[in-house]
């Protein structure tokens, strides 16, 4: 703030600041803590210290103590607030004095929209890999007074960050009493190797992200509609998810500790066959094709898939061809996005000892193109530009050929500029050239189309238009 100007908002009474914060989504509300001392004072957490016996963390007594504290904190969602409590586990020394063995610090932040963030950190205790079991019923709460659990029961959204082995039982206990929980986020847990989620009919959204040692995920949630995963490839089993609509498999960190098992991956894809929106890493499709999978000979298709987002660090000939193979089992696809994400690791497939695979895979472009089915329902295509111009143009050519009902194709350049692509009949070529004098022509490998561009200056941005002209003779 400029010198001499009065910060009128920060000087408002504390109760008014609390009221202002209550109108903000929790993520934006927390950011007000950096505005001034007055705002920072609002976010000063209530601090509670609990000292437990070293073996008590898994016991009924420990759950009782922590539940009382959390239950009191969650009794009302009228204001966004923070609670910080420290759990100390002392160990008896040889001379009879107790010393601190481990410490678990929990920072709880609640929002007015019945949202709770739980962040965990430890002292200098030894780290340990662990499994996390989240189930809807926990015997530890059966005898609790209703006033202790009413806040748990009404919670809608739960974010768990940096869960450790010391916190796993507390998290399981909390989850079991979030009876109306609709959304669960689990992220940045380096010790976590496996998670088993058994939810009731309320859970609709599950996100698991950035757990680098993840090996297995098992989900049973009858009303789950959205499942997003980001990180290394684990074993994913979706056992009871009949209402699943939107799935994101962003495997940007590669294989991780798991071995690549074709049967496991195909079983996962089969459990996703009824989704309508799918995001998938390109390297996974490439590996499946390299291992010998023939997509159109599988016993299932993605007959309900409307939107497909392909994502990887690069797209080359092999990734292009494996995407084309997958399109053969997505007959009702309406929108396709091909995104280049440089945060993805570059993952080269191993050598698989198979002599059978998609008939056109890794063959010449013309053969590959002839084996791709017509995309009768594909209307919208969004492509990210990448460095290999030949591969980019051949993919555009393939999609323009097969998407017979195409309404829009957009290519976004590395400079974040948009290029619109469309077909222009030969009879209109001269007219197009006259109306777009700044057009630049680029010839693709098969000489069948011309890709051109022209700048169009709008009031708020610059739009690049690309035109595709088909000829009956070589360019």
Residue 363 is predicted with a pLDDT of 67
Least confident stretch, 197-201, 223-227, 428-432: 428-432
For the entire predicted model, the pTM comes to 0.81
- pLDDT tens readout for residues 309-330: 999 988 888 888 899 999 999 9
Q: Which residue has the higher pLDDT, 196 or 43?
A: 196
Please, which pLDDT band fits residue 357 given cuts at 50, 70 and 90? low
- pLDDT tens readout for residues 162-212: 999 888 888 988 898 888 999 999 999 999 999 999 999 999 999 999 999
Q: Which residue has the higher pLDDT, 225 or 346?
A: 225
Tell me if 227 is assigned to some domain: yes
Tell me if 296 is assigned to some domain: no
Residue 331 is predicted with a pLDDT of 95
**What is the percent of the chain where pLDDT is above 70?**
66
User: Is the per-residue pLDDT at 266 higher than 70?
Assistant: yes
- pLDDT tens readout for residues 442-470: 444 444 444 444 443 334 443 334 444 43
Tell me if 64 is assigned to some domain: yes
Residue 229 is predicted with a pLDDT of 98
Tell me if 281 is assigned to some domain: no
Tell me if 58 is assigned to some domain: yes
- pLDDT tens readout for residues 111-151: 878 899 999 987 666 678 999 999 986 544 444 545 455 66
What's the mean pLDDT in 71-75?
Answer: 80
Residue 310 is predicted with a pLDDT of 96
Tell me if 427 is assigned to some domain: no
User: Is the per-residue pLDDT at 353 higher than 50?
Assistant: yes
- Residue 181 lies in domain: 45-244
Residue 443 is predicted with a pLDDT of 42
Which segment, 251-265, 325-339, 388-402, is predicted with the most confidence on average?
Answer: 325-339
Place of tokens 């238009």: 465
Please, which pLDDT band fits residue 85 given cuts at 50, 70 and 90? confident
Residue 457 is predicted with a pLDDT of 34
The total of structural domains in the chain comes to 1
In angstroms and rounded to an integer, the radius of gyration of the C-alpha atoms of the chain is: 28
Least confident stretch, 28-42, 95-109, 207-221, 426-440: 426-440
User: Is the per-residue pLDDT at 302 higher than 50?
Assistant: yes
Residue 392 is predicted with a pLDDT of 78
Tell me if 286 is assigned to some domain: no
Residue 33 is predicted with a pLDDT of 66
Tell me if 187 is assigned to some domain: yes
């Amino acid at each position: 703030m400029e010198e001499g100007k009065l910060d009128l908002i920060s000087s408002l009474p504390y109760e008014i600041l609390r009221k202002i914060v209550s109108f903000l989504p929790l993520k934006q509300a927390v950011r007000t803590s950096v505005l001034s001392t007055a705002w920072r004072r609002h976010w000063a957490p209530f601090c509670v210290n609990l000292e437990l016996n070293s073996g008590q963390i898994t016991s009924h007594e420990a759950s009782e103590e922590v539940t009382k504290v959390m239950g009191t904190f969650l009794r009302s969602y009228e204001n966004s607030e923070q609670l910080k409590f420290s759990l100390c586990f002392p160990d008896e020394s040889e001379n009879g004095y107790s010393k601190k063995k481990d410490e678990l610090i929990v920072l709880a932040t609640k929002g007015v929209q019945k949202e709770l963030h739980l962040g965990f950190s430890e002292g200098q205790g030894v780290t340990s890999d662990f499994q996390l079991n989240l189930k809807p019923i926990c015997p530890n709460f059966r005898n609790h007074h209703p006033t202790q659990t009413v806040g748990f029961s009404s919670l809608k959204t739960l974010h768990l960050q940096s869960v450790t082995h010391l916190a796993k039982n507390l998290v399981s206990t909390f989850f079991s009493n979030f009876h109306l929980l609709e959304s669960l986020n689990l992220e940045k847990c380096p010790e976590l190797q496996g998670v088993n989620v058994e939810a009731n009919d309320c859970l609709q959204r599950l996100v698991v992200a950035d757990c680098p040692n993840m090996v297995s995920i098992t989900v049973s949630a009858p009303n789950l509609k959205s499942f997003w995963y980001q990180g290394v490839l684990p074993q994913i089993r979706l056992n009871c998810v009949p209402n699943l609509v939107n799935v994101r498999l962003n495997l940007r960190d590669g294989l991780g500790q798991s071995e690549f098992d074709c049967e496991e991956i195909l079983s996962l894809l089969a459990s996703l066959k009824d989704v309508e929106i799918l995001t998938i890493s390109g390297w996974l499709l490439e590996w499946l094709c390299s291992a010998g999978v023939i997509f159109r000979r599988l016993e299932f298709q993605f007959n309900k898939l409307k939107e497909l987002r392909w994502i990887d660090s690069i797209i080359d000939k092999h990734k292009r061809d494996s995407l084309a193979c997958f399109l053969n089992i997505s007959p009702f696809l309406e929108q396709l996005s091909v995104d280049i994400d440089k945060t993805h690791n570059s993952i080269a497939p191993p050598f698989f000892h198979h002599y059978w695979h998609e008939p056109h895979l890794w063959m010449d472009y013309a053969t590959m193109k002839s084996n791709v089915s017509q995309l009768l329902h594909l209307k919208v295509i969004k492509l990210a530009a990448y460095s290999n111009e030949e591969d980019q143009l051949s993919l555009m050519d393939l999609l323009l050929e097969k998407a017979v009902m195409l309404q829009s194709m957009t290519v976004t350049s590395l400079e974040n500029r948009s290029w619109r692509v469309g077909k222009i009949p030969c009879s209109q070529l001269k007219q197009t050239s006259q109306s777009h004098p700044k057009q630049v022509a680029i010839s693709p490998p098969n000489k069948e189309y011309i890709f051109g561009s022209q700048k169009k200056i709008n009031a708020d941005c610059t739009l690049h238009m690309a035109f595709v002209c088909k000829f009956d003779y070589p360019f």
